[in-house]
Structure 1
Amino acid sequence: MSLNWITLRVRDLEASLNFYHDILGLPIERRFESRGKQIVMLGTGAQPKLELIQTIDQTLKPECGVSVGFEVKSLDEAIEYLKSRGIPVLRGPITPNPHLRFFYILDPDGFEVQLAEHS
C-alpha cells in the first residue's frame, strides 16, 4: 500500500491554487470537474498528490488537526521568500533535534502548512 493523495476541501479554489501552485511551486498535474465540483491535483511524478476540491460549505473547519508538510532546501530562504509574498510565519522556526528545523504557515482556508529542512 502507498499514499496516493491527500484531499483538502477549500472555499476558493483560485486562492488555494495561488498559494499552493504560484507561491509554494507545486505543479498542477490535472484540473477537472466531477459531479459539479472543481478539482485540482497538484504534485509531481510518483509522489503523493495534494487534491483541492472547491466546496461551498461555509462550515469548513481547518482546525480539525490536518496539516500538510513540505521539505525545503533552506528554511531561512523559505521564510524570507514567504514574508516577501505577504505570508507570515504562524509558529517557529522550531528545532526539535540537530537535524530538523521547521515552521508553520496558514493556507487561505486556515489549514496549517509545515515547511521543514532536514540536514
Structure 2
Amino acid sequence: MSFCIDHLNRYVSDIDKFITFYNEVLGYELLDKGFKANGKAYAILKGFGHELFISEKDDFMPENSNFRHIGYSIENADSLLESLRDKGYADKECRIVVKQFSRQFYLKDPDGFEIDFIQWTDKEGFYENLKMKKRL
C-alpha cells in the first residue's frame, strides 16, 4: 500500500488574498470557490500532486496553530526568491539560508503562516547525517 498527500485543509482570514497568494507565489490553480452551508467562503486550489482546501471561519486566530510550516522542494532558490521579490511577496530582508545539505528561504503567507522553500543540495547526506547523530 502506498500513500501520498491528497490535500491540505486550513482556515484562513481572507479567501481572495489566499487565492491570489497561492496562485502567484506557488502556481496553484483555482478549482472551485463558493460558500459553505454556514455562509463562510471556501476555495479549492490545485497544487502539484495535491489540493489545498481553504475556508474562512469566525474568530480566526492564526497564532493558535501548532502546525510549524509547509516545506516545498524547489529547483532554484535564487531565481524563485528574485521572482517573489519582483512580485512584492518577498522583501530585501528575505535571505537564502545556506546549510550543509540545503539552500532555503522562508516566506509568510497573508495570515503569517510560514512556508519553507528548500533547494536540496544533498538530501541523502541530510538523512545519513541524522542517522549518524542518532548512533552517537
- TM-score for the superposition, normalised by structure 2: 0.70
Alignment of 1:1-119 (within 5 A): 1-35=3-37, 36-44=39-47, 47-61=49-63, 64-88=66-90, 92-98=95-101, 100-119=102-121
Which structure dedicates a bigger proportion of its chain to strand?
1
Task: Tell me if structure 1 keeps the 8 A contact 2:69–2:116.
Answer: yes
Higher helix share: 2
Number of residue pairs matched?
117
Structure 2 Cα separation of the partners of residues 88 and 62 of structure 1: 24
Contact persistence 1:63–1:111 (CA under 8 A) = no
Q: CA deviation at 1:91?
A: 5.9
Greater Rg over alpha carbons, structure: 2
Higher RCO (CA < 8 A, seq sep 6+): 1
Structure 2 gap segments, 5+ residues each: 122-136
What runs of 5+ residues in structure 1 fail to find an aligned partner? Answer: none
Identity of aligned residues (%): 21
Matched-pair contact (CA < 8 Å) for 1:41–1:52 = yes
Q: Bigger CA drift: 36-45 or 6-15?
A: 36-45
Query: How big is the alpha-carbon RMSD for the aligned residues of Structure 1 and Structure 2?
Result: 2.4
Higher mean C-alpha deviation, range 65-74 or range 12-21:
65-74
User: What is the TM-score when the length of structure 1 is the normalising length?
Assistant: 0.78
**Which structure 1 residue ranges, 4+ long, deviate > 6 Å from structure 2?**
none
